[in-house]
Amino acid sequence: MARKYQRGSLVIRGTRRKVYVLRYYESVLLPDRSLGRARRSRILGSVSEVGTKRKAWEIAETIMREANLSVERPEATLTFRQFVRLWEEKILPLKKQSTQKLYRETLARYMLPTFSGMRLCDIEVTDVQGFITSHAQRFAWATVQHIKLTLNQVLKQAVEWGYLRDNPVARAKMPKRPPRVEKVILTPDQVKQLLVRLREPCHTAVATAVATGMRRCELFALRWCDVDFEKSVIHVRQRIYEGLIDTPKTPRSIRDLPMPKWLAEKLLQYRQRTNGGLSNFLFEGLSGKPLNPVSMCQRVLQPALSALGLPRVSWHCFRRTLATWLSEQGTQIKTTQELLGHSSVNTTLEYYVQSLTESRKQAIEMVGRLMDPNGPKFASLVSPLVQ
Q: How many CB atoms lie within 10 A of CB 196?
A: 10
Contact 158, 83 (CB under 8 A): yes
Range with lowest mean pLDDT among 30-34, 159-163, 318-322 = 30-34
Question: What is the pLDDT, as a whole number, of residue 317?
Answer: 93
Question: What is the pLDDT, as a whole number, of residue 356?
Answer: 55
Contact 351, 342 (CB under 8 A): no
Question: What is the pLDDT, as a whole number, of residue 47?
Answer: 87
228-277 confidence digits (pLDDT tens): 999 999 999 999 988 888 888 888 899 999 999 999 999 999 999 998 89
Read off the pLDDT of each residue in 126-134 and give the average, rounded to a whole number: 95
For residues 219 and 213, give the distance between their C-alpha atoms in angstroms, rounded to a whole number: 9
State the amino acid at position 18 in one-letter form.
K
Which residue in 38, 48, 46 sits closest to 13, CA to CA?
A: 46
What is the DSSP code (8-state) at residue 74? P
Q: How many CB atoms lie within 10 A of CB 321?
A: 23
> Exposed e or buried b for every residue in 98-131, given b needs 16+ CB within 10 A?
eeeeebeebbeebbeebbeeebbbebeeeebbeb
Question: ω into residue 168 within 30 of 0, thus cis?
Answer: no
Mean pLDDT of the chain: 85
98: which strand partners? none
Check whether 376 has a pLDDT greater than 80.
no
- 41-45, 66-70, 198-202, 374-378: which is most confident: 198-202
**CATH number for domain 188-352, candidates 3.30.9.10, 3.20.20.140, 3.40.50.2020, 1.10.443.10:** 1.10.443.10
User: What is the full DSSP assignment across 235-250?
Assistant: EE--EEETTEEE--SS
What is the DSSP code (8-state) at residue 178? P
Check whether 72 has a pLDDT greater than 70.
no
Element of type H or E holding 40: strand 35-46
Superfamily of domain 80-171: Tyrosine recombinase, N-terminal domain (1.10.150.130)
Check whether 381 has a pLDDT greater than 80.
no
Check whether 333 has a pLDDT greater than 80.
yes
Residue of 294 and 362 predicted with greater confidence: 294
Read off the pLDDT of each residue in 144-156 and give the average, rounded to a whole number: 96
Q: Kindly list the domain boundaries of the chain, sorted by start residue.
A: 9-76, 80-171, 188-352, 355-387
Check whether 316 has a pLDDT greater than 60.
yes
Residue of 198 and 242 predicted with greater confidence: 198
User: Residue 79 — φ and ψ, nearest 5°?
Assistant: -85, 165
Residue of 53 and 224 predicted with greater confidence: 224
Taking the complete model, does pTM exceed 0.75, yes or no?
no
Q: What is the pLDDT confidence band of residue 32, given thresholds at 50, 70 and 90? A: low
For residues 250 and 237, give the distance between their C-alpha atoms in angstroms, rounded to a whole number: 11
